[in-house]
Amino acid sequence: MLRNPVPRAALALVLALGAAPAQAQEVLRDAETEAFFREMSAPIVTAAGLDPRNVNVVLLNDGEVNAFVAGGQTVYMNSGLIGEADHAEEVQGVFAHELGHIVGGHAIRGGEGSRPAVAITLLSLLLGAAAAAAGSPEAGLGIFMGGMTAAEGKYLAFSRAQEATADAASVKFLAGAGISGRGSVNFFQKLQNMEYRAGYRKSPDDEWYSTHPMTDDRLTTLKDAFEQDPAWKRPEDPALQRRFLRVKAKLYGYLAEPQQTLTAYPEYVNDIPAHYARAYAYHKQAFMDKALAETDAILAAEPDDAYALELKGQVLLESGRPADAIPPLRRAVALTQNQPLIATTFGHALLATEDRANFPEAERVLKAAVVKDHDNPFAWYQLGMVYEANGDTPRARLASAEQEAMQLQYVEALRNAEAAQAALPAGSPDWLRAQDIAMSTRAMVEHKRKKK
């Protein structure tokens, strides 16, 4: 189920390199969505010569139709992009473009474009100052402004070249994966239509001031290249498309107002995406019976649908019925081979019963979850509650330090890590981990203090 790492979340996509700081946006974690991203991206990553296990897609809560990379091997996508797409192939086209930035090392090569621009700016500043000192202030200002324009043009030309390179790479990667480029072309057509609806009309100076090549030029180039690929007329993968429609409906139901969801997915529509979306709408309105009826409708068609079981369990848990949530969540964990996000919800339900007989299972499940997905602060929070309930205060403090460090609460993380280290057996794995957290958070605290 869509959730925040602590404890609620959201999504994002961007068609530009380094277009937004991912750290400043809300991240959505959802087991089914992340599984879809892995499946749709794996053949493209392989075609690019990379290991699919090392390339991630992160969804952000941002209505802008966009996707971006910001260093490393992670592609960030906005919820607005998923909402605008109608086919999994469109998302694959966007992903292939962003992967082109990763393979080209564009994020770490940004200095290649900025350094010449800075050099031009500094030179124009020196020449302008010299002209002003010689008694021609207007000439000096003109030299400086001309230099600024030239510097801007230099950098933008560099950026456009990177975007064109990423476009060409996307053609290569999709062809290598045997995926049609129709989705990529269709999505660029949507971007073009969005420009027209916004009142944009191309002028001769537009490309000079743009970070990207003009959309119509990119569209023509891409279409010409893709139409020569044998995969151009290959039908889309129906199973992947079904999974995309489910993910899109979940996202819409999670983010939209309930009435908007019920308008977009009216009650007479009885496919699985519609049941998904309406389950979220009713759950947000606290109509538990209606929400459960929607999840049960999915399970009537597909009894072993792990993600529908997960959703049913979370509806029950958040409606104050944790004991009833345990069976569907336990089944979902088993079906997904201990998927860590689902396991975290299961552990939460076990703890929420306040039945100490459930605590050993909760500890076992949550430990397994953080091993598979270390960067999940809510799982660490729940695990800390188990430790505290069992009287294991040192490990409870260590779990809190893990959680707080991920949430950039460095002072609190340092305090808990030092307390854990003081009480844990010296040299033990947990003691060493507490020491690592203490050292890293102490450095961050000192850094922030110096900046102030």
Per-residue CA distances from 323 to 138, 311, 331 (Å)? 78, 15, 14
**pLDDT score for 38:** 97
Model pLDDT for residues 214-239, shown as the tens digit of each residue? 667 778 888 888 888 888 999 999 99
Q: Across-strand partners of 68?
A: 16, 76
pLDDT digits (tens, 9 = 90+) for 257-272: 999 999 999 999 999 9
Q: Provide the residue type at 78 as one letter.
A: N
Q: Widest CA span of the chain, in angstroms?
A: 87
Mean pLDDT is lowest, of 148-152, 277-281, 320-324, for 148-152
- Quick: pLDDT tens for 319-331: 999 999 999 999 9
Domain boundaries, the chain: 1-106+162-255, 392-452
Task: Tell whether the model's pLDDT for residue 101 goes beyond 70.
Answer: yes
The yes-or-no verdict on residue 318 having pLDDT over 80 is: yes
| Cα(50)–Cα(73) distance, integer angstroms | 10
DSSP symbols for 407-445: TT-HHHHHHHHHHHHHHSPTTSHHHHHHHHHHHHHHHHH
% the chain with pLDDT above 70: 77
More confident residue, 159 or 320: 320
As a whole number of angstroms, the distance between CA 172 and CA 87 comes to 20
Q: How confident is the model at residue 382 (pLDDT cuts 50, 70, 90)?
A: very high
Mean pLDDT of 348-362: 96
Over range 173-195, report the average pLDDT.
87
Mean pLDDT is lowest, of 53-62, 94-103, 153-162, 237-246, for 153-162
| Location of structure tokens 């992967």 | 99
Phi-psi region of 286 (alpha: psi -120 to 50; beta: other; left: phi over 0): left
Q: Which of 67-71, 115-119, 338-342 has the lowest mean pLDDT?
A: 115-119
Q: Are 92 and 40 in contact (CB under 8 A)?
A: yes
pLDDT at 128 over 50: no
Q: Give the CA-trace dihedral at 40, 41, 45, 51, to 10 degrees.
A: -100
Per residue in 395-419, pLDDT (tens digit) is: 999 999 999 999 999 999 999 999 9
